[in-house]
A and B are shown apart, each in its own frame.
Chain A
Amino acid sequence: MSQVQALDIEQRLHPLTIFYKLIISAPQLLLILYLTVIRGDVTQLINILIIVLWAFIAFPFIFLNYYFFTFSITPKEIRIRSGVLSRRQRIIPIDKIQNIEVTQNFLQRLLSIAKVTIETAGESGVEANFEFVSKTYAEYIRETIKNYKKLSDLQNSQIQDGEIKQDFKEDSVTANPIFAMSIKECIIYGALRFRPVLFAIVIWLMGTAQQFYILPEYWDIDLKDLSSLFDNINELELIFLIGGLIIASSVLSILLDIILTINQYYGFKLFQEIDKLQAEHGLLSRRKFTIPLKKLQMIVMRSNFIMRKFNLWGLMLETAGFQEAHKSSKTALPLANINTIINLSDKILSINFDNQFLQVSRKTIRRAMVRYAFIFLSFILPLTFISIHSLWLFALTPFLYFAAVLTYKNRGYMIYPNKLQIKQGYFFQKISIIPIQKIQTVHVVESFFQRRLGLATLHIDTAALQSSVDASIIDLDRQTAYNLAKEIMYHFHNKTKLD
Chain B
Amino acid sequence: MNQLHPSVKSVWALGILIRAFFIALTFLVIELLFIRPNINYDIPIGFTSLIIILLGVVISILYPILKYKYWYYEVRENELFLKRGILLRITTIAPFNRIQHIDVHQNLFERMMNLARLVIYTAGTRGADIIIPGLPLDYAEMLRDKLKEYAIEDAL
Residue ranges of A at the interface with B (Cβ–Cβ < 8 Å): 122, 294-295, 297, 320-322, 438-448, 451, 459, 461-467, 470, 482, 485, 489, 492-493, 496
- Find out whether the CB atom of B125 lies under 8 angstroms from the CB atom of A482: no
A445 touches B88 (CB 8 A): yes
Q: Which residue of B lies closest to A488 (CB)?
A: B93
Given A463-B124, A463-B156, decide whether A496 and B89 contact each other with a Cβ distance below 8 A. no
B98: Cβ under 8 A from any A Cβ? yes
Task: List the A side residues contacting B92 at CB < 8 Å.
Answer: 441-443
CA distance A184 to B128 in the complex (A): 43
Query: When the two chains form their complex, are residues B93 and A470 in contact, meaning their CB atoms are under 8 A apart?
Result: no
Q: How many residues of B contact A (CB 8 A)?
A: 24
Judging by beta carbons under 8 Å apart, are A489 and B125 in contact? no
Instruction: Determine the distance from Cα of A438 to Cα of B126 in the docked complex, in whole angstroms.
Output: 14
Q: Does B141 contact A (CB under 8 A)?
A: no
Could you tell me if B122 and A461 are in contact, using CB atoms closer than 8 angstroms? yes
Determine whether B97 belongs to the interface, using a CB cutoff of 8 Å to chain A. Answer: yes
A-B complex: 7 closest residue pairs judged by Cβ atoms: A440-B124, A461-B124, A463-B123, A444-B91, A446-B89, A441-B94, A442-B93
Contacts of B78 in A (CB 8 A): 493
Closest chain-A Cβ to B85's Cβ sits at a distance in Å of 8
| Residues in B neighbouring A485, C-beta threshold 8 A | 91, 93
CA distance A190 to B100 in the complex (A): 42
Complex alpha-carbon distance, A466 and B87, angstroms = 26
A295 to B156, CA, bound (A): 7
Question: Any chain A CB within 8 A of the CB of B44?
Answer: no
Q: Which residue of B lies closest to A449 (CB)?
A: B87
Q: How far is the CB of A435 from chain B (nearest CB, A)?
A: 11
- Chain A min CB distance to B92 (Å): 5
Q: How far is the CA of A465 from the CA of B91 in the complex (A)?
A: 23
Establish whether residues B126 and A459, one from each chain, have CB atoms under 8 Å apart when the complex forms. Answer: yes
Q: How far is the CA of A467 from the CA of B126 in the complex (A)?
A: 6
Closest to B120 in A: A441
Which residue in chain B gives the minimum CB-CB distance to A469? B125
Q: Within the complex, what minimum Cβ distance (angstroms) separates A490 from chain B?
A: 10
* Residues of chain A within 8 A of B28, CB atoms compared: none
Contacts of B37 in A (CB 8 A): none
Closest chain A residue to B101, Cβ basis: A123
Asked whether, in the complex, the Cβ of A446 is within 8 Å of the Cβ of B88, the reply is yes
Highest count of chain B CB atoms <10 Å: which of A295, A440, A444: A440
In the complex, B95 has a CB within 8 A of chain A: yes
